[in-house]
Amino acid sequence: MNDVIIKDGAVFSRVEVERAETAAAGEDAPAKAADDGRGYAALMAMAEALPDPDTGEQPKAERTADKEEGAGAAEAGPEVDETHRRADYDPGPPAVSVPVAYPFTLDGVRVDRIDLRPPARGDVEAVVAGQISELELHARMSGRTVAELRALRWPDTETVTIAARHLAPEIGGR
């Protein structure tokens, strides 16, 4: 099995990354990356962001950003692909419906059950990339707000979490 590297939610094989790093040393690498339809442009961008393997020195762009940040420039947060949020899924029964043992009303919304559907791929990628939390993933799977899920009593939180994890793929560290 090949080693894989996950960078900003994208998955690359170690071989592809090594090829991109090797190609980055060549003068015509940007032209090859732009012409190649296999995603090498993304690999090239990733390779350029890696520290120098010999010296450990950070890339020039990252050093410049660090200086600007120190000068008071605001750092932009990670981008989350919102494509799935525009998706209009066909209505249907939820994959799992969890009755809430301790129902409540929050901001005029009654919470007495949490209906869960499988997550969108983009949401799973966002969790892997550290762009959203597991709680935000569960909110997206349920169509509920994070505030509504935070308001659940602990026994309900555990039940919803177990059900949501059953529907989502294995995500490292949980």
- From first to last of its 174 residues, what are the pLDDT tens digits of the chain? 345 555 554 555 555 566 566 555 554 444 444 444 555 555 556 666 666 666 666 665 544 444 444 444 444 444 555 545 568 888 889 999 999 999 999 999 999 999 999 999 999 999 999 999 999 999 999 999 999 999 999 999 999 999 999 999 988 765
Joined together, the tokens standing for residue 110 give 């009654």
Contact 80, 103 (CB under 8 A): no
Determine the Cα–Cα distance for residues 131 and 136; give it in Å rounded to an integer: 10
Determine the Cα–Cα distance for residues 20 and 82; give it in Å rounded to an integer: 28
Query: What ranges do the domains of the chain cover?
Result: 4-70, 84-167
Joined together, the tokens standing for residue 160 give 């919803």
- pTM above 0.75? no
> Which phi and psi (to 5°) does residue 86 adopt?
-90, -10
> Tokens 């007495």 correspond to what residue?
112
Joined together, the tokens standing for residue 106 give 């929050």
